[in-house]
Homo-oligomer: A and B are copies of this chain.
Amino acid sequence: MPRLIALYNVPDDPAAFDAHYRDVHALIVERYPNIRNIKLTKPIGVAGRESPYHLMAEMSFDSVADLEAALMSEAGAASARDLRNFASAGVTLFIAPDEAHG
């Protein structure tokens, strides 16, 4: 199932980040049209190094077309606007289209 993946850099204030994500941002993401699943994970580091990411959000859709339509929707625009309210440490977004490795 294709996923939109958001990797959030470690914020200055993790508790404030978590509260904003839970109380505001998650509610916007849940409004994405045709979103099938939202998986949130707190990455941990490997081999004694800290994880560069505080939160990974994996948002699943039936197709890449549905995913791209969600990003273009009103909720997608609201989500992008909301990033400035909690993700100033930076976020990396990409699509994992679920294709085979060639």
Given contacts A94-B53, A96-B41, is CB(A101)–CB(B18) below 8 Å?
yes
B residues near A101, Cβ cutoff 8 Å = 18, 21-22, 40-42, 55
Binding site secondary structure of chain A:
mixed
Instruction: Tell me the count of chain A residues lying within 8 A, CB to CB, of chain B.
Output: 32
Is the CB–CB distance between B102 and A44 below 8 Å? no
Could you tell me which residues of chain A, from 28 to 67, have a CB within 8 Å of some CB in chain B? 40-47, 49, 51-53, 55-56, 64
Given contacts A46-B95, A71-B47, A94-B53, is CB(A102)–CB(B18) below 8 Å?
yes
- In Å, the complex CA distance between A92 and B43 comes to 12
Task: Name the CB-closest residue of B to A26.
Answer: B101
B residues near A53, Cβ cutoff 8 Å = 94
- In Å, the complex CA distance between A102 and B55 comes to 11
Is the CB–CB distance between A96 and B56 below 8 Å? yes
Is the CB–CB distance between A42 and B4 below 8 Å? no
B residues near A51, Cβ cutoff 8 Å = 94-95
